[in-house]
């Protein structure tokens, strides 16, 4: 197991170096990649460096604590990565450095207290039990910091996801990013479990298992970085978030009624819902109003949000198309795409919500 773990550590570390080289020499990658992703890779390299030092160079055992420098850096970077990916900003700011202050302070304290302290002093602290108590405090604080930043990242993600669901007529690719945060949360949960086991008297389990946790997080980051380089559009959802330039709606009740009739005519005659990438801003432009006006119209006069309203018309279109001879050779999803859907899951959920049954059950009843 030890040999296998060491090989995995080497692999993760070398892959990290490879990604940094790509970033350094490829201007195309530099222009598209989120800079905080590179910070994550560097943080994980620090996390793996301590173990590499021990089994490669037969170094001083306490230099293994170099790996712990990344403890207070990880959660902050996950949060900043999430924040910058789901906002219009994709660069470093001086203000963001505040989040790294705990990590810097932690690195200074660990260096002074343990890494560069005299061996005799470390032995005294170990024999008296002081070292164990300090490590428990350090790791506990690190867990609190990481979980706090992870919760902040999840909260931000859910807010942006909900916000965007009211702006687009299609399901945005949030699944990949959602899985990333879930995986990070599971890693932190495993770390917490092992930490608690160490406190209650099995500290050797915590020491032996900690490298596996950091290795898992390392591979997670490498996986994310690979797909960010391969498919950078996965993290471009921020471009579709509502802009602050729109003023609040000031339409009167009579004007809203008139706008409702105008919208109904537009939907029947021009069928904008056939556009698979239709946004609320697109519909607002067609009506000659702003997005708050459209949102207020849908909420007060129709009782649906934008996503539900557009998919309602797509379902109607789907049913009409499915009854035509020209679509007999198409699958249900093929017809749904003709009606404006770009996701099979969204289509099935919308159909069941509106019609109360699945497409196959609905048309089997029609035949009967």
| pLDDT digits (tens), the chain, 368 positions | 556 666 766 777 777 777 777 777 777 666 666 677 777 777 777 767 766 665 555 545 555 666 677 778 888 888 988 887 776 555 567 788 888 888 888 888 888 888 788 888 988 988 898 988 888 888 888 889 999 999 999 998 888 777 666 555 555 556 677 888 888 888 888 888 888 887 876 666 666 666 666 567 666 766 666 666 666 555 544 444 444 433 466 778 788 889 999 999 999 999 999 998 888 888 889 998 888 888 888 888 888 888 889 999 999 999 999 988 888 888 999 999 999 998 888 899 889 988 888 888 888 876 54
Query: Is 248 within the bounds of a domain?
Result: no
Residues 130, 262 share a domain: no
Bridge partner list, 279:
168
Residues 158, 38 share a domain: yes
Query: Is 98 within the bounds of a domain?
Result: yes
- DSSP-derived letter for residue 279 is B
Q: How many CB atoms lie within 10 A of CB 158?
A: 13
Query: Is 176 within the bounds of a domain?
Result: yes
- Helix 2-25 to helix 203-230 angle (10° resolution) is 30
Q: How many CB atoms lie within 10 A of CB 260?
A: 15
Q: Do residues 180 and 220 make contact, with C-beta atoms less than 8 angstroms apart?
A: yes
The total domain count for the chain is 2
Find the CATH number of the domain harbouring 289: 1.10.10.60
**What contacts 308, CB < 8 A, 6 or more positions away?**
350
**What contacts 198, CB < 8 A, 6 or more positions away?**
136, 205, 206, 207
Phi and psi at residue 174, to the nearest 5°: -90, -15
Residues 220, 302 share a domain: no
Q: How many CB atoms lie within 10 A of CB 189?
A: 12
Three-state secondary structure call for residue 58: coil
Query: Is 52 within the bounds of a domain?
Result: yes
Residues 264, 188 share a domain: no
Query: Is 246 within the bounds of a domain?
Result: no
Residues 329, 291 share a domain: yes
Query: Is 51 within the bounds of a domain?
Result: yes
Residue 343's domain comprises 253-367
Q: Do residues 268 and 193 make contact, with C-beta atoms less than 8 angstroms apart?
A: no
- CA trace torsion 108, 112, 114, 120 (10° rounding): 180
Find the CATH number of the domain harbouring 106: 1.20.1070.10
pTM of the model: 0.64
């Amino acid at each position: 197991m030890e040999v296998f773990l060491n090989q995995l550590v080497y692999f993760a570390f070398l892959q990290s170096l490879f990604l940094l080289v790509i970033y350094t020499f490829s201007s195309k990658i530099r222009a598209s990649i989120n800079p905080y992703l590179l910070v994550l890779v560097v943080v994980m390299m620090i996390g793996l460096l301590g173990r590499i030092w021990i089994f490669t160079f037969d170094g001083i055992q306490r230099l293994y604590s170099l790996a712990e420098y990344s403890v207070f850096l990880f959660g902050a970077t996950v949060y900043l990565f999430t924040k910058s990916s789901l906002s219009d900003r994709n660069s470093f700011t001086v203000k963001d450095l505040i989040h790294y202050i705990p990590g810097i302070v932690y690195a200074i304290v660990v260096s002074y207290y343990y890494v560069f302290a005299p061996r005799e002093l470390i032995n005294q602290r170990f024999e008296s039990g002081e070292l164990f108590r300090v490590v428990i405090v350090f790791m506990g604080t690190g867990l609190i910091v990481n979980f706090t930043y992870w919760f902040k990242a999840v909260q931000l993600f859910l807010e942006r996801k909900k916000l965007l669901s009211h702006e687009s007529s299609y399901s945005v690719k949030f699944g990949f990013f959602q899985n990333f945060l879930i995986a990070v949360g599971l890693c932190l949960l495993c770390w917490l479990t092992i930490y608690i086991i160490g406190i209650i008297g099995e500290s050797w389990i915590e020491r032996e298992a900690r490298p596996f946790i950091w290795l898992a997080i390392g591979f997670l980051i490498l996986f994310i970085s690979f797909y960010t380089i391969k498919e950078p559009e996965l993290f471009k959802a921020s471009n579709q978030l509502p802009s602050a330039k729109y003023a609040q709606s000031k339409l009167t009740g009579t004007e809203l009624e008139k706008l409702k009739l105008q919208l109904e005519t537009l939907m029947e005659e021009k069928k904008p819902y056939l556009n698979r990438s239709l946004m609320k801003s697109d519909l607002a432009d067609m009506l000659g109003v702003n997005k708050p006006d459209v949102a207020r119209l849908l909420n007060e006069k129709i009782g649906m949000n934008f996503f539900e309203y557009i998919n309602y018309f797509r379902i109607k279109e789907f049913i009409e198309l499915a009854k035509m001879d020209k679509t007999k050779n198409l699958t249900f999803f093929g017809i749904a795409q003709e009606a404006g859907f770009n996701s099979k899951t969204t289509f099935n959920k919308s159909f069941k919500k509106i019609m109360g049954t699945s497409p196959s059950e609905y048309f089997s009843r029609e035949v009967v």
